[in-house]
Amino acid sequence: MRKKIVAANWKMNKTFADGLQLIDEILNTTPVNNNVIKIIAPPFIHLAAIADKLKSKEGFAVAAQNCHHLKSGAFTGEVSAEMIASTGAEYVIIGHSERRMYFGETSSLLAQKVNITLANNLTPIFCLGEMIEDRNANLHLEKVKQQLKEGLFHLSPSDFSKLIIAYEPVWAIGTGVTATTHQAQGMHNFIRSEINKKYGKNISENTILLYGGSCNAENAKDLFACLDVDGGLVGGASLKANDFVAIANSF
């Protein structure tokens, strides 16, 4: 049985004090489904404090939103996987569409980030997805297949089995538009079938696939009811405690 996960991507939001307040609000909002893993991905400034706050809380974990692809060095402003691991965080979001678009992150770079993340015993949450022009041209499956191949399919079966994949229809991020359940299930099933071709049935059936794209308290129940959707990577709706807890309780 695959784990159910809801990951909160705060992006570049919340001051240090505001972030700690939001965590307190989430912890004080009841009921919280302890059968769902709730991963909090705050800005780097919050990692250590939030990891410390959540370390004894059942069903919670912490993720970084990014990491550098090298171990260390003269890279002003960057944060390494080793540094992230030292805070108590357990996960790293890699390849978010905003990193690909705004910072020019390529598949070859993201493959290196996956490698360094795994080398530091962190779990990658690897994001992939298509632009609206890809879907309109009926190229969305090919686009996602290419991102899988170039970013992840270099991994050994044992390493691949450690990661999480988040499907982001880029046209649905921050737009208020959500993929229909048919679209979400169709792409998640396609991703699982491609993993099956590469790594076999056992790994494909145990790979956790998340939906990311304007997932909120209103649509989460329908999305999470899809056979191949194991949870969500949540953006704006994760910035309000009641909404995030409601999404986590949607299974």
Alpha helices in 40-167 (DSSP H): 47-54, 81-86, 97-102, 107-119, 132-136, 140-151, 157-160
Phi, psi dihedrals of residue 186, rounded to the nearest 5°? -60, -45
**What's the CA gap between 92 and 194, in Å, rounded?**
23
Q: Contact at 8 Å (CB) between 69 and 116? A: yes
Chain centroid to CA 147: how far?
15
Asked if 96 is an active-site residue, the reply is: yes
Q: How far is CA 145 from CA 139, 185, 194, in A?
A: 10, 16, 7
Catalytic residue (choose from 98, 105, 130, 168): 168
* Residue among 46, 68, 96, 140 flagged as catalytic: 96
Residues assigned a catalytic role: 96, 168
